[in-house]
Amino acid sequence: MRSDQIRQGRLAGERSGDLEHFLASMDADRWIARADLLVDMAHLLGLSRQGIIDEAPARALMAALLDLYDHGLPEEAFDERFEDVHAGKEAYLIDRVGEDFGGRLHMGRSRNDEVATCIRIRLKEEILALVRSLADLRATLLDVAAGHTETVMPGFTHLQHAQPTTLAHYLLAYEQAFSRDTARLREAYARVDASPLGSAAFASTGFPLDRAYTATLLGFSRPAGNSMDAVAARDFAIEVLSDASICMATASRLCEELVLWSTAFVGFVRLDDAYCSSSSIMPQKKNPDVAEIMRAKAGSVAGSLTAAITITKGLPMSYNRDLQELTVHLWRGVEAARQSIPLLSGMFGSATFDTERMAAEAGRGFSTATELADVLVRDYGLPFRTAHRIVGRAVRHGSLDLATLDAAAREAADLSVMELGLTREKIDAVLDPRHAVSVRSIVGGPAPVAVAIQIDEQKELLARDAAWAEETDSALSSAFEDLILEARRFAA
C-alpha cells in the first residue's frame, strides 16, 4: 500500500515514526471503522444519484467497499503513516481500483464531515446499548424491591441511623435515579441524531449533494442544520459524557453502599462469589472487587468528561485537530459506563440480603424518635418545635421511656406528657420501626402501600423506555440493512 496520498500535494518530506505515532488516531478509529464504510457507501450512492460520479467508477468503488464491509479493513489501513483510518482506507481503494476511480470517492466531502458523521453513528449505537443496560438494571431493582416492600431496615443521614425505611423504598430511590439517567440519554440521542455528511470542511460544497438523502440512508432523522457547526460541534459528545458521568456517579454510590453493607460490622448483604475476589495472603478474605473497581470507573468517566470540556473550551470555529484527542476520551468514557452497568445489574440481582439483620438495626440509635415527636403533635396538640425539643432532651438523657420523656417535658417545656395522656403502651407502639414505616403512606413514602404504587409507576415508565430503545435500535439497524442492500444492488 502506498504512502499517505493526502500529503503528496502540498507537503514534502518524510516523518519520523514518533511523529507519525503522535499524530495518528488509529486506536480511536477502530471504533468507527465499520461506520466509516457505511458513510462511504451512502456518500457514493448520493454522488451517483446526483450525477456527480459516473457509473463505472461508482460501481468499482462500491464493490471494493462491500468487500471491505464483508471481510473487514486490512490491518494496513490502520498503519500510522496514514494518520487516520480514513486516509488508510482511501489508499487501499486507490490501490485496488486505481486513482482514476478510487480518487473520486472524496468528491464533495472532507475528512471533517466524514469523521463527525462516523462519530455520531457510533455514539447513537452506544447510547442505545447503555439505555438497554439501564433498562435491565432498573428491572432488576424493581424486581428485588417488589419482594421487599415490608423488609424494614434503617435509613441513614450522615451515615448515622436516622429513620426506619424499607429495602424496597431504598431500591426505588436508585431506580428512579437510573430512570432519570435514561431520560437524559434519550434526550441526548435526539441531539446526536443529525447527519453532518455534506458539510465538507465546514463551508459545505459546490457539488449538488442531497444531504437529506444520505442522512436517511445512514439512519439519521435529519441533516445537521449549519455546515460549520456540523463539523466543529462536539457538545453532543460532552453531553453524552456528562450523562454517563452522572449515571456512573449514581452507580458508584450504590457500589459504595454494597461495599459497606457487605462488611462484617454491617452485614446487610452477601455478594455472589463471582463478583468478589480473595486475598493472596489472607485465606479468609472475600473482597467486593467488582464494586470497588466500578467506583473507580466513575472517576474515569468523569475524567473523560473533564478532558473533553477542556479540549473544546478554547477552540475557535470551525474544525481544529484538537478534536481528535477528544474522541479518545469519548470512547473511553462511554465504554467504561457501558461495561459497568450490566455488571452492576448482575451483582445486585445475585446478591442476598440479611433481612433479620436489617430489622434488628432498624430501630437502633433512636431512629423512631421523629415519629414520637410527630405523635406528640398529632395526638396531643403540641407545636412541633416543642415536641422536637422534648424528645431531643429525652434522647440526651439516654431513654425514650415514659418517665424520661415526662421529665424531659418538664425541663424543656414546663409540661407533663403523662398529664396529656401519653402512656407506656402508646410509646412502645410508636417506637416500633414497622409502625414508623406504615404511617408514612403519602406519595413517595416507604409504607408498603406507597411503595407498591411507586413500583407500578416505575414499571410503566421502564416499559416505555425499553420500547423506545427497541424501536429506535430496530429502525437504525433496518436503515443500515437497507443501505447495504441498496449498495449490493448498485454494485451488481
For cell 515514526, what's the residue? 17
The DSSP code sequence of 342-369 is HHHHHHHHT-EE-HHHHHHHHTGGGTTH
3-state secondary structure of 151: coil
**DSSP H helical ranges for 103-149:** 111-146
Q: How many contiguous H segments (helices) and E segments (strands) does the chain have? A: 21, 4
Q: Out of 221, 278, 279, 416, which one is annotated catalytic? A: 279
**DSSP H helical ranges for 218-322:** 227-232, 235-261, 289-312
Does the annotation mark 350 as catalytic? Answer: no
User: Could you tell me the three cell numbers for 16?
Assistant: 519520523
Cα 203 to Cα 96, 109, 110, 134, 155, distances in angstroms:
31, 11, 10, 39, 58
Peptide bond into 318 cis (omega under 30): yes
Q: What count of other Cβ atoms lies within 10 Å of the Cβ of residue 173?
A: 19
User: Could you tell me the three cell numbers for 377?
Assistant: 403533635
Q: What count of other Cβ atoms lies within 10 Å of the Cβ of residue 107?
A: 14
User: Could you tell me the three cell numbers for 13?
Assistant: 518530506
Cα–Cα distance for residue pair 352/272, rounded to 1 Å: 8
For cell 472517576, what's the residue? 299
Does the annotation mark 279 as catalytic? Answer: yes
**Which stretch of DSSP H or E encloses residue 42?**
helix 33-49
Bridge-based pairing state of the strands 160-166 and 269-270: unpaired
Answer yes or no: are the C-beta atoms of 221 and 194 closer than 8 Å: yes
Answer yes or no: are the C-beta atoms of 341 and 334 closer than 8 Å: no
Answer yes or no: are the C-beta atoms of 248 and 184 closer than 8 Å: no
Cα–Cα distance for residue pair 323/112, rounded to 1 Å: 10
- Type of residue found at 245: S
Cα–Cα distance for residue pair 330/334, rounded to 1 Å: 6
Give the Cα-Cα-Cα angle 366, 156, 276 (nearest 5 degrees). Answer: 125
> Residue 317: what are its φ and ψ, rounded to 5°?
-70, 145
Give me the helix-helix angle, 235-261 and 323-349, nearest 10°.
30
3-state secondary structure of 428: helix
For cell 479468609, what's the residue? 284
The residues that are catalytic are 158, 279
